[in-house]
Structure 1
Amino acid sequence: MILFFGTRPGKPETKHLFNCTCPYCQQHGTLTAVTQKNYFHIFWIKLFKISSSTVAECNHCKRAFYENEFTEEMNSEFSKTVN
């Protein structure tokens, strides 16, 4: 019997952070956060989430911020849009 298993990424979720200011270029309302989740699968059926990562990018200066680099303003706005 052949068993296909492994990991694969899910669909990315995009959230616009309209009420945030970019810490690098100081532009207001230009941040977009993308969350990517990785899943364990058997026969291409997702069973459970292994990990997730979130990156915010400024549409003006193209600077990217990992989740551990988020400011308090970015964290509060991201948690509002997730819930």
Structure 2
Amino acid sequence: MILFFGTRPGKTQYSPLLGVKCPYCEQMGTLTLTQTTNWFHFFWITLFKISSSTVAECSHCKRVYYKEEFTPSMKAGLDDL
């Protein structure tokens, strides 16, 4: 008997963080929030989420911020979504 199971990435969501400055280059409105999830599947049926990650990237200086590095203004912008 063959069983097909494993993990698969879910749909990646992109959202701009408007009104938030990049802490590094001080440019307003250049941060984009990226949220990804990984799912466990059995016979190509998605069963449950096993992990997720959230990062913000500045389109001006290309710096990437992980969720642990978010400033209070970035966290407030995240809550508004």
TM-score, structure 2 as length reference: 0.97
Deviations 1:58-78 (A, max 9, x none): 010000000000000001101
How far apart in 1 are the matches of 2:55 and 2:39?
A: 18
Q: Which amino acid aligns with 1:25?
A: C
Matched pairs, number: 81
TM-score, structure 1 as length reference: 0.94
Structure 1 segment 1-83 matched on structure 2, within 5 A = 1-81=1-81
**Structure 1 unaligned spans of 5+:** none
**Structure 2 unaligned spans of 5+:** none
Identity %: 59
Moved over 4 A (4+): none
What root-mean-square deviation, in Å, do the aligned CA atoms of Structure 1 and Structure 2 show?
0.6
Deviations 1:15-63 (A, max 9, x none): 1101100000000000001001000000111100001001100010000
